[in-house]
């Protein structure tokens, strides 16, 4: 604490010193005057003998200081004063850095959350998702997001015995697959929530902590107990964190479950990219089949060939994933083929893979490529921002050469000067980093809303570290600039030259032009990319869907407590009858799969008893309600629509689409032919025009629409399509009432407009185009600022030269052209460099484009036009200023 005491006693020490020195001088003066000098002479002599009082006091003070630290502090204060003296420069530099660092940090936050961040669980590096590259064995059936992530119950049982490899192997699967949520009743209110079926060791194996109550045990799994654990978020949102919910009963799909625990706040489940609201142990009853549906009459425990469970493992410490695979793979293969008979030797054997449970898309890779592209784009923005600031700093330091020369002349050391310039750079970067951090926090909120990702995108300490690293890199870049100045500032040259005389070497100007051209190249690339994404988005928006989506409302409905096999049909018929007469409803129908939501059901086509392999025709099927084509306004080309007379007992019928006809009946009329297994075939009664089934960007697909009444058993959930006369969403309250008249417990599942369903199918493309456009505009703005700043600076340096030119007869238009041409020449070089760069980038993102080639001429031309505009606009103001120079005044100032 000695230093602290010193710090406070310092002021007194300084006063002591001043008093001493003052008295010293006075006494000496007195003495000299006694010797006969005048007061003036004596003062002069005393001071001369004593030396520089201020300097000596300074040296006395230094004893009490930390010289390095304190001179840095002094430099910092000086740097701040300098920034306040030039607020324009400071504002532009800090703002540029703020935008550059902010954008980079924002995108990195997403990258971190989506690709890098581990699950918020103890020892997350031991957690791995299990996968089967290539899908489950031939002959088995799967339900799940992809066939690579699903496992059968016997395989799970066999693998979980390996306690020397997996300290725990956990199974999980959503209760409802297609629409994600299940009906839930708390007291009297019906609602929906996202739930997972999990094995008994799910919470203990993952190491989830509990805010309240307990998790599950293996007994819960064996007995399929009716216990439920809620997520913290759901507890907060639905029960306002009431501690009394433990022991309360909630009804899931109409079955009572008792709340036994609340998971800790940071655990959102292990479903990739989604948060789970509640968990229940694996159940044996068919209502709780994983994914809410099973092909045919499969059950979780009764159908060894049904692959429907996702697995996540915690490895025993010290076991590597390679060892785990080597050890368990033979056993996995035995279990996989146990119920399928001898595997076909011609087909590759299934093989186990372990994927680190990192990021939210550990299971799918669909976000990796777009995020990498975005990271690349934002890096370009950062480069532009940093080079801009570097040029600003160089320009400003060059205009301060006189000051530096003066300081050299007065004995300043180059190292002192360098230190001060570095501190100025570091100060700028620090301010920019703080601003960037704030921008990033705001940007990630917007991004989370835009991307519709249910993940926490808020920057964490990894992101903070990242921001720190890029700031340090930026600071280093800017330090190179003052280093150049400090090493090259002449002591005498700048002092001798007048302020307005150009002091710009040919070399310096060339360097500046290279940086500007590079910036323009990068900007051109970013604009091309933005153009490509925007045009992709436009293509998505303007694609003819074949369905009139405007005015269509869609929601799901799951009838409950159905006592007989006919009961669901009666329920659906009553519901449709009720909806049809609702005011504001033009027409209504059912569909098993919502067009545009990404799901399809595919079968092998059997026409008139002839089987067409999958490789030849992929037939998508859907089960739909009466007047389906009419309600969705899909044009009918031939025959009739499915209607109310197509019931469970009437002759089986099917409507096919154009592509179906082109592929299977190229030369004949399909009407009257039979589709499906001869034992249970359907007569083709109509042909519909092609329409989009799963997404906007799919190609032509052969489709068959069956009446929902003629499938194998009643669908457990149907989607209701309602065509409204006005705004579809305005109908919701009256529809909700109408549904409740039929069954008071039923919620409307995921009600939305059909327009919205299709829009959601290209959320990622919309997000990409918005971000790419933001980056493009940001880059344009930065480049414009950089170009404008550099040209203005050059014009101000060349005032005298331009004055001379004009005095010698140059016209104003010639001066104007002089500056504008300089800018356009640089722009031309930039574009020439940018075109290959843009081609390369376009090529990299080819898979993300829709309806256009990566070498899209329109995008290139737009980018070219934009860059030319920047070149003209940014140079026009400085050029006009140059042209308005008064030659007399310019020369007089020399």
Partner 1 sequence: MAKNSEQRDLFAGALELMILHSLRLKPMHGYALVKHIKQVSGDLLQVEEGSLYPALQRMLKEGWLEAEAGISAKGRPTRIYRLTDAGMRRLEQEVSSFEKMFAGITRVLAVSNA
Q: For the CB of residue 423, give the shortest distance to partner 1 in the complex, in Å.
A: 21
Q: Smaller CB distance to partner 1: residue 50 or 614?
A: 50
Report in angstroms how near the CB of residue 441 gets to partner 1 at its nearest: 43
Q: How far is the CB of 439 from partner 1 (least distance, A)?
A: 42
Nearer of residues 48 and 680 to partner 1, judged by Cβ? 48
Distance of CA 17 to the CA centre of its chain: 63
**Both structure tokens of 46:** 């005393």
Least separation in angstroms between CB 410 and partner 1: 18
Query: Please, what is the minimum distance in Å from the beta carbon of residue 51 to partner 1?
Result: 4
Burial label, 343 (beta-carbon count in 10 A; 0-12, 13-18, 19+) = middle
Q: Is residue 730 packed enough to be buried (19+ CB in 10 Å), middle (13-18) or exposed (0-12)? A: exposed
- Cα–Cα dist 58/55, whole Å: 5
Backbone angles phi, psi at 610, to 5 degrees: -95, 130
Phi first, then psi: give them for residue 455, nearest 5 degrees: -135, 160
Give the residue with the Cβ less far from partner 1, 62 or 460. Answer: 62
Our CB check for partner 1 shows the closer of 55 and 857 to be 55
* Residue 408 beta carbon to partner 1: minimum distance, rounded to whole angstroms: 21
Select 52 or 242, whichever has its Cβ closest to partner 1: 52
At residue 711, the 3 state secondary structure works out as coil
Q: Measuring CA to CA, which residue among 404, 583, 359 is closest to residue 503? A: 404
What kind and span of H or E run contains 589? Answer: strand 585-591
DSSP run (H or E) holding 838 = helix 812-844
Which residue do the tokens 């940007």 mark?
Answer: 443
Closest contact distance (angstroms) between CB of 28 and partner 1 is 7
DSSP state for residue 347 in the 8-state scheme: S
Q: Which is nearer to partner 1, 23 or 677 (CB)?
A: 23
CA–CA distance, 643 with 625 (Å, rounded to integer): 7
Q: Which is nearer to partner 1, 63 or 857 (CB)?
A: 63
Q: Say which residues have a Cβ less than 8 Å from residue 221's Cβ, sequence separation at least 6.
A: 199, 200, 201, 281, 282
Q: Which is nearer to partner 1, 57 or 604 (CB)?
A: 57
Can you give the binding site for partner 1, defined by CB under 8 A? 13, 16-17, 19-21, 23-24, 26-28, 30, 49-52, 55-57, 59-64, 66-67
Q: Are 591 and 721 in contact (CB under 8 A)?
A: yes
Burial class (CB in 10 A: 0-12, 13-18, 19+), 235: buried
Tell me whether residue 34 or residue 40 sits nearer to partner 1 (CB atom): 34
Residue 762 has what DSSP assignment?
T
**Token pair belonging to 677:** 């297994």
Question: Least distance to partner 1 from the beta carbon of 18, Å?
Answer: 10
Alpha helices in 618-666 (DSSP H): 628-632, 658-664
Tokens of 487: 């090493």
Whole-angstrom Cα distance, residue 835 to residue 520?
A: 11
Least CB distance to partner 1 at residue 49 (A): 6
Answer yes or no: are the C-beta atoms of 658 and 703 closer than 8 Å: no
- Biggest alpha carbon–alpha carbon distance for the chain: 138
Q: Which residues contact 1 (CB under 8 A, 6 or more apart)?
A: none
Q: Which residue's CB is nearer to partner 1, number 27 or number 369?
A: 27
Minimum gap (Å) between residue 52 Cβ and partner 1: 7
Taking the complex as a whole, how short is the minimal distance between the CB of residue 434 and partner 1, in angstroms?
Answer: 33
Residue 406: CB minimum distance to partner 1, A: 24
Nearer to partner 1, 3 or 84 (CB): 3
Cβ proximity to partner 1: between 50 and 78 the closer is 50
Q: In whole angstroms, what is the distance from residue 261 CA to residue 245 CA?
A: 9
CB 185 within 8 A of CB 245: no
Shortest gap between Cβ of 75 and partner 1 (angstroms)? 18
Q: What secondary structure does DSSP assign to 545-571, as a single string?
A: -SS--TTEEEEEE------SSSHHHHH
Closer to partner 1 by CB, 56 or 567: give it. Answer: 56
């Amino acid at each position: 604490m000695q230093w602290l005491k010193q710090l406070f006693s310092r002021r007194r020490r300084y006063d002591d010193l001043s008093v001493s020195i003052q008295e010293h001088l006075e006494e000496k003066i007195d003495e000299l005057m006694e010797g006969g000098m005048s007061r003036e002479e004596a003062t002069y002599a005393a001071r001369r003998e004593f030396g520089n009082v201020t300097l000596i006091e300074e040296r006395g003070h230094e004893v009490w200081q930390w010289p390095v630290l304190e001179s840095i502090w002094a430099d910092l204060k000086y740097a701040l004063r300098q920034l306040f003296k030039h607020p324009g420069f400071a504002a532009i530099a800090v703002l540029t850095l703020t935008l550059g660092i902010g954008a980079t940090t924002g995108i990195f936050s997403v990258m971190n959350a989506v690709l890098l961040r581990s699950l918020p669980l103890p020892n997350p590096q031991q957690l791995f998702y299990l996968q089967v590259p290539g899908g489950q064995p031939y002959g088995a059936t799967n339900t799940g997001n992809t066939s690579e992530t699903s496992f059968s119950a016997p395989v799970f049982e066999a693998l979980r015995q390996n306690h020397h490899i997996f300290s725990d192997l956990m199974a999980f699967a959503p209760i409802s697959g297609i629409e994600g949520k299940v009906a839930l009743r708390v007291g009297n209110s019906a609602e929906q929530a996202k739930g997972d079926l999990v094995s008994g060791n799910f919470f203990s194996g993952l190491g989830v902590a509990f805010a309240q109550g307990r998790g599950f045990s293996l007994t819960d799994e064996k007995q399929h107990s009716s216990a439920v654990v809620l997520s913290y978020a759901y507890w907060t949102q639905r029960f306002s964190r009431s501690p009394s919910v433990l022991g309360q009963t909630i009804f899931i799909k109409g079955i009572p479950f008792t709340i036994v625990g609340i998971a800790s706040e940071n655990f959102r489940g292990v479903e990739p990219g989604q948060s789970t609201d509640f968990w229940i142990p694996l159940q044996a009853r068919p209502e709780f089949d994983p994914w809410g549906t099973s092909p045919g009459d499969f059950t979780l425990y009764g159908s060894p060939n049904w692959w429907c469970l996702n697995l996540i493992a915690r490895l025993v410490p010290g076991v590597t994933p390679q060892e785990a695979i080597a050890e368990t793979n033979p056993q996995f293969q035995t279990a996989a083929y146990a119920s399928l008979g001898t595997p076909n030797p011609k087909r590759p054997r299934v093989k186990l893979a372990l994927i680190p449970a990192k990021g939210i898309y550990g299971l799918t890779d669909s976000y990796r490529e777009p995020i990498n592209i975005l990271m690349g784009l934002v890096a370009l923005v950062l480069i532009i921002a940093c080079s801009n600031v570097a040029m600003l700093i160089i320009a400003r330091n060059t205009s301060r050469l006189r000051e530096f020369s003066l300081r050299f002349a007065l004995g300043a050391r180059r190292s002192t000067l360098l230190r001060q310039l570095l501190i100025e750079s570091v100060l700028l970067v620090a301010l920019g980093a703080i601003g960037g951090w704030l921008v990033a926090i705001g940007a990630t909120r917007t991004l989370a809303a835009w991307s519709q990702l249910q993940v926490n995108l808020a920057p964490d300490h990894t992101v903070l570290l990242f921001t720190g690293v890029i700031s340090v890199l930026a600071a280093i870049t800017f330090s190179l600039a003052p280093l150049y100045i400090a090493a090259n500032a002449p002591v005498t040259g700048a002092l001798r030259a007048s302020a307005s005389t150009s002091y710009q070497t040919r070399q310096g100007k060339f360097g500046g032009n290279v940086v500007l051209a590079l910036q323009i190249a990068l900007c051109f690339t970013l604009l091309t990319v933005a153009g490509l994404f925007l045009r992709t988005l436009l293509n998505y928006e303007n694609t003819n869907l074949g369905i009139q989506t405007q005015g269509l409302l869609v929601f799901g409905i799951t009838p409950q407590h159905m006592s007989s096999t006919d009961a669901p049909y009666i329920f659906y018929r009553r519901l449709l009858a009720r909806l049809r007469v609702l005011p504001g409803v033009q027409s209504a129908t059912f569909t098993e799969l919502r067009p545009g939501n990404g799901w399809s059901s595919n079968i092998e086509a059997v026409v008139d008893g002839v089987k067409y392999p999958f490789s030849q025709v992929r037939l998508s099927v859907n089960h739909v309600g009466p007047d389906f084509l009419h309600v969705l306004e899909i044009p009918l080309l031939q025959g009739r629509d499915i209607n109310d007379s197509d019931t469970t007992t009437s002759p089986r019928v099917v409507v096919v689409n154009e592509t179906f006809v082109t592929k299977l009946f190229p030369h004949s009329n399909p009407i009257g032919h039979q589709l499906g297994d001869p034992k249970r075939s359907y007569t083709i009664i109509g042909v519909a025009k092609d329409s989009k089934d799963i997404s906007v960007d799919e190609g032509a697909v052969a489709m068959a629409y069956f009446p929902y009444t003629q499938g194998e058993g009643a669908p457990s959930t149907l989607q209701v399509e309602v065509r409204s006369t006005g705004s579809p969403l305005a109908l919701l309250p009256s529809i909700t009432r109408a549904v409740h008249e039929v069954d008071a417990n039923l919620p409307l599942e995921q009600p939305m407009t059909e327009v919205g369903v299709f829009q959601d199918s290209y959320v990622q493309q919309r997000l990409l185009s918005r971000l790419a456009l933001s980056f493009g505009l940001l880059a344009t703005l930065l480049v414009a600022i950089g170009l404008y700043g550099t040209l203005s600076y050059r014009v101000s340096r060349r005032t005298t030269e331009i004055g001379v030119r004009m005095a010698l007869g140059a016209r104003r238009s010639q001066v104007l052209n002089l500056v504008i041409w300089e800018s356009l020449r640089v722009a031309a070089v930039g574009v020439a460099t940018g075109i290959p760069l843009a081609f390369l980038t376009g090529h990299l993102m080819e898979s993300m484009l829709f309806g256009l080639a990566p070498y899209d001429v329109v995008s290139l031309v737009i980018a070219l036009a934009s860059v030319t505009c920047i070149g003209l606009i940014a140079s026009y103001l400085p050029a006009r200023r140059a042209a308005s120079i008064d030659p007399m005044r310019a020369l007089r100032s020399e």
